[in-house]
Amino acid sequence: MSSAPPLPEGLVAVVKQDCPTCHLVSPVLGEIAARGGRLTVYTQDDPGFPAAVPAAARVHDDGLAVSWHHRIETVPTILRVAGGVEVARAVGWVRGEWEELAAVGPLGAGLPAHRPGCGSLSVDPSLADQLRVRFEGQRLGSRRIEVAELDDELETAFDRGWSDGLPVVPPTPARVLRMLDGTSRPPDEVVAVVPPDLVEATVEKVAVNAVMAGCRPEYLPVVLAAVEAACTDSFNMHGLLCTTYFSGPVVIVNGPIAAQIGMNSGVNCLGQGNRANATIGRALQLVVRNVGGGLPGGVDRATFGAPAKYSFCFAEDEDGSPWEPLSVERGFAAGTSTVSLFPGHGPSSIIDQISRTPESLARSFAARLRAVHHPKLVMALGAMLIVSPEHARVFAEAGWSKARLRQELEGLLLLDGDDLVRGAGGIEEGMPAALAAGRRLPKFIPGDLAIVHAGGRAGMFSAIIEGWVTGARGSQLTTREVRQ
């Protein structure tokens, strides 16, 4: 931030000509000056105003540096300055307060006892952004790119390769400063080292990309936590990016932050239409693209990719869930806001509109889960099961905990290895005979099936997010606390 201009000793008034209250008090200011008080009047618009004050005591606050730095929100404001420091302030016209500040006896005879002031030009909505950039712009370290008058800044963003294919919000300094209001972390703090180019991403760089993605400032802490989680050895963003497989980072938000920023955990929660869901996942992808240099066709070698790679972000429905949320399972205290990243794509559907017993419904789930990736491939890739409210109710009414469901699914997904070996069923794909023949193998290595609760209140469907290579060899579900 640029430094505040020092204030002169004595009384300091800030006024503007375009303010009836300032006109009302101008004789009072003249009176103070005439009585020999040490008075300086900063005038925001008309350097000749107020005429009642001698020109020598008037200063044109051209550029509004004094008003902005000294947080003048209303004119007139009168300050007492002693030793270079503001010691008292009165806002608007309040006779008693002015008399106390001026300490020169009765003031403004014939005026009403009080009259509210007008908005200071330094907080005028049409100027506020411009002033903030002028006085706070030095906080921003990113290279400034000037877009020529005849160029369209949205097209510039496309031309420079900053976009995921959709238009981006132009990251102007004013928008980035507003975005940075969403966190208490300083702009130059390093959030993570982003693959594949292994470039340090500062809070500011994440904010620039969050602006482009369309985030509101209050989403920024979630985006920051998502970037932190992505750039860990456990999540292995590099591997996830460069694989030929479909997956990308899926962002699951838990805790009070989800409701605070208006995230969708209910109707159409994996679909379109919610700004936070749509832009937080997108911001993470833009950070990987722009800061990390992870470009499709470059390091990103996906055969198909997936629509999920534009943005795949939702909140868990904790209030409607019979079970503990994902964040608590992951070791965080209830009520803690977290971001979890899952390497996945999808969703795939599970239809079961008939089952009313948990045993039957679990079998439906298992039948669909055993087919993910390939019915004959096991123990290599993970999955996330999103249980809908109507399905969760079946388990809740029967008293099944999440752990019980997982345990039952593990039993149902213990598969006959002879059916899985290469060549079995006339399908060459499958597990090596040395690993599978004559044994029973689990579809998922324990811990590689995550379970969350979300979705609209109606619909006896659940969802599967198909995962990628799990464990130390691939990407693991990774959770970070959201810090404001």
Partner 1 sequence: MTVILLDPTGERRPAGRSRAARPASLEGRVVALLDISKPRGDVFLAHVADLVTARGATVRRYTKPTFAKPAPADLRRQIAQECELVIEALAD
CB 35 within 8 A of CB 107: no
Is residue 304 involved in binding partner 1 (CB under 8 A)?
Answer: no
Cα–Cα distance between 42 and 60 in angstroms, integer?
6
Is residue 239 involved in binding partner 1 (CB under 8 A)?
Answer: yes
Q: How far is the CB of 151 from partner 1 (least distance, A)?
A: 8
Is residue 158 involved in binding partner 1 (CB under 8 A)?
Answer: no
Q: Are β-strands 58-60 and 39-43 bridged in parallel, bridged antiparallel, or unpaired? A: parallel
Q: How many CA within 13 A on the CB side of residue 257? A: 25
Is residue 236 involved in binding partner 1 (CB under 8 A)?
Answer: yes
Please provide the size of the chain in residues.
484
Is residue 201 involved in binding partner 1 (CB under 8 A)?
Answer: yes
Cα–Cα distance between 390 and 401 in angstroms, integer?
15
Can you tell me whether residue 218 is helix, strand or coil?
A: helix
How many residues line the site for partner 1 (CB under 8 A)?
43
Q: Which is nearer to partner 1, 286 or 450 (CB)?
A: 286
* Binding test (CB under 8 A) with partner 1, winner from 76, 108, 171, 382: 171
Q: How far is the CB of 220 from partner 1 (least distance, A)?
A: 14
CB 252 within 8 A of CB 311: no
* Binding test (CB under 8 A) with partner 1, winner from 3, 112, 113, 143: 143
* Binding test (CB under 8 A) with partner 1, winner from 19, 90, 101, 208: 208
Q: Which is nearer to partner 1, 74 or 142 (CB)?
A: 142
Which residues are paired to 93 by β-bridges?
115
Q: Which is nearer to partner 1, 170 or 266 (CB)?
A: 170
* Binding test (CB under 8 A) with partner 1, winner from 273, 472, 483, 484: 472
Cα–Cα distance between 249 and 345 in angstroms, integer?
8
Is residue 293 involved in binding partner 1 (CB under 8 A)?
Answer: yes
Q: Which is nearer to partner 1, 4 or 472 (CB)?
A: 472
> Which residues does 137 contact at the CB level (< 8 Å), separation at least 6?
173, 177
Can you tell me whether residue 9 is helix, strand or coil?
A: coil
* Binding test (CB under 8 A) with partner 1, winner from 117, 173, 382, 430: 173
Beta strands in 20-76 (DSSP E): 39-43, 58-60, 74-75
Is residue 157 involved in binding partner 1 (CB under 8 A)?
Answer: yes
* Binding test (CB under 8 A) with partner 1, winner from 26, 77, 243, 462: 243
CB 243 within 8 A of CB 279: no
Cα–Cα distance between 204 and 155 in angstroms, integer?
23
Cα–Cα distance between 151 and 394 in angstroms, integer?
58
Is residue 220 involved in binding partner 1 (CB under 8 A)?
Answer: no
* Binding test (CB under 8 A) with partner 1, winner from 65, 194, 412, 451: 194
Give the residue from 79, 67, 164, 158 showing the smallest Cα distance to 120.
67
Q: How far is the CB of 295 from partner 1 (least distance, A)?
A: 11
Residues 348-387 that bind partner 1 (CB under 8 A): none
The secondary structure of residue 431, as a DSSP letter, is: B
Is residue 315 involved in binding partner 1 (CB under 8 A)?
Answer: no
Q: Which is nearer to partner 1, 209 or 254 (CB)?
A: 209
CB 442 within 8 A of CB 414: yes
Q: How far is the CB of 472 from partner 1 (least distance, A)?
A: 7
Is residue 286 involved in binding partner 1 (CB under 8 A)?
Answer: yes
Q: Which is nearer to partner 1, 239 or 322 (CB)?
A: 239
Q: Which is nearer to partner 1, 144 or 165 (CB)?
A: 144
CA dihedral 122→70→60→27, nearest 10 degrees, is 100
* Binding test (CB under 8 A) with partner 1, winner from 103, 110, 113, 144: 144
> Which residues does 46 contact at the CB level (< 8 Å), separation at least 6?
16, 17, 18
List C-alpha distances in Å: 184 to 138, 179, 204, 474: 17, 11, 12, 33
Q: Which stretch binds partner 1 (CB under 8 A): 81-89, 202-210, 303-311, 312-320?
A: 202-210
Q: How far is the CB of 326 from partner 1 (least distance, A)?
A: 23
Q: Which two structure tokens, joined as six digits, stand for 372? A: 């993910």
Positions that interact with partner 1 (CB under 8 A)? 140, 142-149, 153, 156-157, 162, 170-173, 176, 194, 197, 199-201, 204-205, 208-209, 212, 233, 236, 238-239, 243, 286, 290-293, 469, 472-475
